[in-house]
Amino acid sequence: MVACTRLIRWSRFFRTLASFVVVLSACGGSISPASAHERIGTASHSIITANGHTVAYYLNIPALLSSRLKIEAGDDPGSLRGYFEQTMKVVTWDKACELLDVKRTTFPATGNTLIHLVYHCPREVQDLTITTVAFLDLDESHVQFARLARPDNPQKFLREEVLSVRQKTFHIPDVRSEGSATLDRATAFLKLGIEHLLTGYDHILFLLTVIIGMTVRETIKAVTSFTVAHSLTMALAFLGYVSLSSNIVEPLIALTIVYVALENIFRVNITWRWLLTFVFGLVHGLGFVGALKEITVSRNELLLSLVSFNLGIEFGQLFVIAIAMPLLYWLYRYTWSASFRRAFSVCVVGLGGVWLVERIIAASQSAQLL
């Protein structure tokens, strides 16, 4: 009878372990480890105005994206027009607007390109819906920071939205109403922070590796110290007081994952882990801010953008922990939970090690291109 009970428990252990291995393998196979944290590779900025039957769309895209677009669509206006006809749709009164003209200007000093799109709508524009997948074929993690502005004062913003692979539509119920651009910006950066955490598989794996085998009290201390630390470095880096190349930050993030997993395997007492997570949180904060700095327009927006994005990161963390903790406490009921923790950590060491090597290789290749 005892032998049967042990056999059942061990079979459950191996089934659970197999599930985690499958998940880790899927993450490692489907996501490029070197770019697991670089979910926002390029960012563009757009200003949109609506006046009468005309919608003017000004797209400012970085040099890297401009070069990719040049390869994809070419330089002639006909090719560019065909590209944007396929990737962008402008609608008012439930009727599609026609793309009349495309102009392209490159700024030699920065390498950035300004693309001016002119749309003619069948009726005077009142409501406006813009749906875009532009540049997502060139960079699947591309983000566009879109703003509706007054036609007589392009610096006066009425509405804002952050467009990405998960948010492709910018809907304005009334182009003449100012709405709340500040609220739009806060909401957009909040959603962006949540998205960045939930698609940052390295951060999720780090959190899971930190909290596995810990009590609720220890988990709260560790996660709180991690939050305080990455919030601190996000603020300092965002304001320009701290700067570290992503070629250094990304391998360091992978190294923190490997270290915590090794500690799970070889150390019994981890009650002081909150100090470790504070130090490692400083590193992860530099990784978080890398995504945010790419899409920030002016220093006037720094505080709101930073706070909203950071809140999004925290909500994403709480979501992950809220799902993970009940599952972990279910595991703690079994005698083999300690063995599972070590086996899980061994898998994490392997995956984190692969990420570390690939990120070092990617960093060296990037340095050679400079």
The 3-class SS string of 82-120 reads HHHHHHEEEEECCEECEEEEEEEEECCCCCCEEEEEEEE
Helix 273-293 to helix 181-198 angle, to the nearest 10 degrees?
Answer: 130
Task: Give the number of other CB atoms < 10 A from CB of residue 226.
Answer: 26
Distance between CA 136 and CA 221 in Å, rounded?
40
Task: Give the number of other CB atoms < 10 A from CB of residue 287.
Answer: 25
Burial of 12 (0-12, 13-18, 19+ CB in 10 A): middle
Select from 77, 78, 84 the least CA-distant residue to 98: 84
pLDDT of residue 38: 41
**Mean pLDDT split into 10-residue runs, the chain, 370 residues:** 48 46 42 41 88 94 84 71 94 94 85 92 93 90 89 85 89 80 80 84 90 86 90 82 83 93 84 89 83 57 79 90 89 86 93 92 70
Terminal CA-CA length for the chain: 67
What is residue 34's DSSP assignment? G
Select from 93, 45, 26 the least CA-distant residue to 294: 45
Distance between CA 18 and CA 60 in Å, rounded?
47
Burial of 10 (0-12, 13-18, 19+ CB in 10 A): middle
pLDDT of residue 205: 93
Burial of 188 (0-12, 13-18, 19+ CB in 10 A): buried
**Beta bridge mates, 51:** 54
Q: Tokens representing 301? A: 């927006």
CA 363 to chain centroid: 20
Cβ neighbours for 45, distance < 8 A, ≥ 6 positions apart? 59, 60, 144, 145, 147, 295, 297
Select from 270, 273, 277, 195 the least CA-distant residue to 230: 277
Amino acid symbol at 86: Q
Amino acid symbol at 32: S
Cβ neighbours for 288, distance < 8 A, ≥ 6 positions apart? 196, 230, 234, 309, 310, 313
Distance between CA 310 and CA 307 in Å, rounded?
5
